[in-house]
Chain A
């Protein structure tokens, strides 16, 4: 009834059905494929950069010659990356992976598609705003990529864009403009997610019956809503410094290349750092929370028992969200802060590690007594646990000022955050892809190639990032064009080779994943509507769901993880199954 009414309204127009769709599922898939494209381009950039790290000064094989031919300037004469191009690759890799890759995937794709379904809603609260979010993300992202075509090259001052370097370096203006567009996209999305979750839950879907994934997206949306605006303001100020001649961040008397900079002065460089990290710290929780949510869903389903500590997990996520606003300066311990202020952030950082451990512990403890089904998604969810554990634990010496003095800006930091985001979030989202693929396309991804993808990916990811801890402890600094330029790096230089080869092999292992995805979409066999026998509401409608999702609002009678309920006929009871069951 509902779907017919809408079918007649949104008639055949290709544009309104596939391009400017208002349907959260279509928008979710748009985000899925677009974010995958950006992830691959960010991956490509780092594969280039890793050649220079492994074999400094040697021409990049295969693609080295193309660089100078495709880009406006001679960024890689003879196939050897120039330091400026190296910096561009580094800054853009970080920017693209974080803002154009992971967040759009975790929030825009997974959140958009699954959240309304899991709460039993027909769509998002603001479908037009949803469409606008995507159509700000895509141009913003393309603008970001296009900055490589600028005569001075793309942004090259790190994804952190520290001033005053970023104000005098090329490429930054486009970065700032693109960021303003992308941030706006995120803000609209955040408003949508929060309103939807609070206002459009199916009858009986109390907050305490929402799946953990929904909670993780809700907290994430709150973080995006409140933490992004300061970066937007800070970016506008940096933009003014670059194009309007202001000096918000430029101190009086700054000398560049032997000449006094013609600026009015009176600015504070450290202000940028504070404002940037005010966002960027909550941002890392934006990166991890949806992933934790995905893992929670897969584990509950794959162990055939309720999650251990639902309330503790949700409470921890909320606590993490709140605390994440008061830890940011642990990224700035070496900026010359007053020790007292540093102590404040040290304490808050230590405190925030507690709920993170709590979530992980609950997820691990959920395995106990479970009847584990080792499906492909489950493999990814299981791998997440120890790998995110490593990522989290290696963060502790960074959060402690004393040890951070040594480790700051070394490869140890790079190892830490890649463990959390790559072996953590990306592994989780890959698992989520295998898990929800049948929902999105009505077909299951090929299991054999899924397992090939899994083992190769996990092995290679560790190969790339584990050596970085050792390099960091050996004192190898990050963002170095030529690591062999510093004597003390030579001992660990072979590790660069290991990391680089692992990275290139990691790319090769993504080919079966990509082929699997596209082959299955077009040629795969249809599977059952609920192949994982899952209890949550997204499986209570067709796969893929029609416009409007449910014929009528589902009535929810129980919590999200009624697996192996004592006395029940089957080992799972859907959230909306009638009470008598």
Chain B
């Protein structure tokens, strides 16, 4: 009884909302593909693609996964996870720019190596 209440009371389905989100997702997908045809340099290309993907992911998460209006605990679980996932990128500070070849020139010859 409790469980049934949990399931049905939680999210009143909004079919029209889902279809609207669907439309937005299609639009954003087409947008990101069109932008890629511009063959932008890497830095702006990455930022734009990441931004569009993040918006799409947020739409799926907020409305299809019902994160909007979800209990704080679930939001905390995801928030904490994303925080630690970001931590994985720490080593980038060091590895980025360090070559993948075994034999490397001496440091004095590496003009653009940071630190």
Name A residues whose Cβ lies closer than 8 Å to a Cβ of B. Answer: 198, 226, 230, 251-255, 265-268, 270-271, 274, 278, 325-326, 329, 337-341, 344
From B90, B94, B98, B102, A326 is in contact (CB under 8 Å) with B90
**Is B33 an interface position by the 8 A CB rule?**
no
Which residues from chain B sit less than 8 Å from chain A, CB to CB? Answer: 73, 80-81, 84, 87-88, 90-91, 93-95, 98, 100-103, 115
9 pairs of A and B residues whose beta carbons are closest in the complex: A253-B102, A274-B91, A338-B94, A252-B101, A341-B94, A251-B102, A325-B84, A266-B100, A338-B115
> Is A255 a contact partner of B94 (Cβ separation < 8 A)?
no
Contact between chains at B73 and A255 (CB < 8 Å)? no
| A340 B115 Cβ-Cβ under 8 A | yes
B101 and A253 form a contact (CB under 8 A): yes
Could you jot down 6 A-B contacts, CB within 8 Å?
A198-B73, A226-B84, A230-B88, A253-B103, A271-B95, A344-B90
Q: Report whether B88 and A255 are in contact in the complex, using a CB–CB cutoff of 8 Å.
A: no
A226–B81 CB distance below 8 A: yes
Contacts A252-B100, A252-B102, A268-B100 given: A325-B91 contact, CB under 8 Å? no
A341 interface neighbour in B91, B100, B102, Cβ under 8 Å: B91
Q: Cβ of A251 and Cβ of B101 under 8 Å apart?
A: yes
* A contact residues around B73 at 8 Å (CB): 198
What is the distance, in angstroms, from A321's C-beta to the closest C-beta of chain B? 10
Q: Which residue of B lies closest to A344 (CB)?
A: B90
B9 to chain A, nearest CB (A): 18
Instruction: For B115, give the chain A residue with the smallest CB separation.
Output: A338
Expressed in whole angstroms, the Cα–Cα distance for A561 and B4 within the complex equals 38
| B73 nearest CB neighbor, chain A only | A198
Q: A329 to B89: give the CA distance in the assembly, Å.
A: 13
Residues from chain A with a CB closer than 8 A to the CB of B95 are 268, 270-271, 274
* CA of A439 to CA of B93, assembled, Å: 51
Shortest Cβ gap from A53 to chain B (Å): 33
Give, as a whole number of angstroms, the nearest-CB distance from B19 to chain A: 33
On chain B, the residues within 8 Å of A337 by CB distance are: 94
Q: How far is the CA of A226 from the CA of B78 in the complex (A)?
A: 11
- Select from chain B the residue with minimum beta-carbon distance to A198: B73
Contacts of B87 in A (CB 8 A): 325-326
Residues A254 and B102 in contact in the complex (CB < 8 Å), given A271-B95, A341-B93: yes
- On whether A255 and B102 interact (CB within 8 A), knowing A198-B73, A271-B95, A341-B91, the answer reads yes
CA distance A278 to B93 in the complex (A): 15
Select from chain A the residue with minimum beta-carbon distance to B85: A226
Given the known interface contacts A251-B101, A254-B102, A268-B100, the answer about A341 and B88 at a Cβ–Cβ threshold of 8 Å is no
Chain A residues with CB under 8 Å of B90's CB are 326, 329, 341, 344
Known: A198-B73, A325-B87. A338 touches B93 (CB 8 A): yes
Chain B min CB distance to A567 (Å):
38
CB pair A278 B88 closer than 8 Å: yes
Give bound CA distance, A198 to B95, whole Å: 39
Contacts of B94 in A (CB 8 A): 337-338, 341
Least distance between A228 CB and chain B CB atoms (Å): 12
Could you say which of B73, B81, B100 has the most chain A C-beta atoms within 10 Å of its C-beta?
B100
Contacts A226-B81, A251-B102 known; A340 to B91 CB distance under 8 Å? no
Nearest chain A CB to B73 CB, angstrom units: 7
| Interface contact A251-B100, CB-CB below 8 Å | yes
- Cβ–Cβ contact A329 & B81, under 8 A: no
New A-B contacts (9) at CB < 8 Å, excluding given A252-B101, A253-B101, A274-B95: A226-B80, A251-B101, A251-B102, A252-B102, A253-B102, A253-B103, A271-B91, A278-B88, A338-B94
CB-CB under 8 A from A271, the residues of chain B are 91, 95
Give the most central of A337, A340, A341: most B CB within 10 Å: A341
Chain B residues with Cβ below 8 Å from A230 are: 88
Contacts of B91 in A (CB 8 A): 270-271, 274, 329, 341
CB distance from A200 to the nearest CB of B (A): 13
From residue B103, how far is it (CB to closest CB) to chain A in Å? 6
Q: What residues of chain B lie closer than 8 Å to A341, measured between beta carbons?
A: 90-91, 93-94
Which B residues are in CB contact (< 8 Å) with A198? 73
Within the complex, the shortest CB–CB distance from A412 to chain B, in Å, comes to 26
Residues on A with C-beta less than 8 A from B84 are 226, 325
Once bound together, how far apart are the Cα atoms of A266 and B99, in whole Å?
A: 9
Which residue in chain B gives the minimum CB-CB distance to A254?
B102
Residue with the greatest number of chain A CB neighbours at <10 A, chosen from B73, B93, B102, B115: B102
Shortest distance from the beta carbon of B38 to any chain A beta carbon, whole Å: 28
Please give me the residue from chain B that is nearest to A247 by CB atom: B100
Cα of A226 to Cα of B77 in the assembled complex, Å:
10
Bound Cα distance from A339 to B94, whole angstroms? 9
- Residues in B with CB closer than 8 Å to A265 are 100-101
B42 to chain A, nearest CB (A): 18
Q: What residues of chain B lie closer than 8 Å to A253, measured between beta carbons?
A: 101-103
Say which residue of A267, A274, A278, A326 sits within 8 Å of B100 (CB atoms). A267
How far is the CB of B98 from the nearest CB of chain A, in Å?
8
Contacts of A344 in B (CB 8 A): 90
Distance (whole angstroms) from the CB of B71 to the closest CB of chain A: 11
The smallest C-beta distance from B99 to any residue of chain A, in angstroms, reads: 8
CA distance A162 to B91 in the complex (A): 17
CB distance from A176 to the nearest CB of B (A): 20
Closest B residue to A194 by CB, please name it.
B77
Q: Roughly how many angstroms separate A268 CA and B97 CA in the complex, as a whole number?
A: 11
Closest to B81 in A: A226
- Complex formed: what's the CA distance from A339 to B93 in Å? 11
State the CA gap A326–B80 with chains docked (Å). 13
Give the complex CA separation of A254 and B81 in angstroms.
36
In the complex the two chains form, what is the Cα distance from A226 to B88 in whole Å? 11
Cα of A265 to Cα of B80 in the assembled complex, Å: 35
Q: Which residues of A contact B100 (CB under 8 A)?
A: 251-252, 265-268
Residue from B80, B87, B94 having most chain A Cβ neighbours under 10 A: B94
- Complex contacts, B98 vs chain A, CB 8 Å: 268, 270
- Write out the residue numbers on chain B whose beta carbons fall within 8 Å of the beta carbon of A226: 80-81, 84
Give Cα distance in the complex from A456 to B25, angstroms.
68
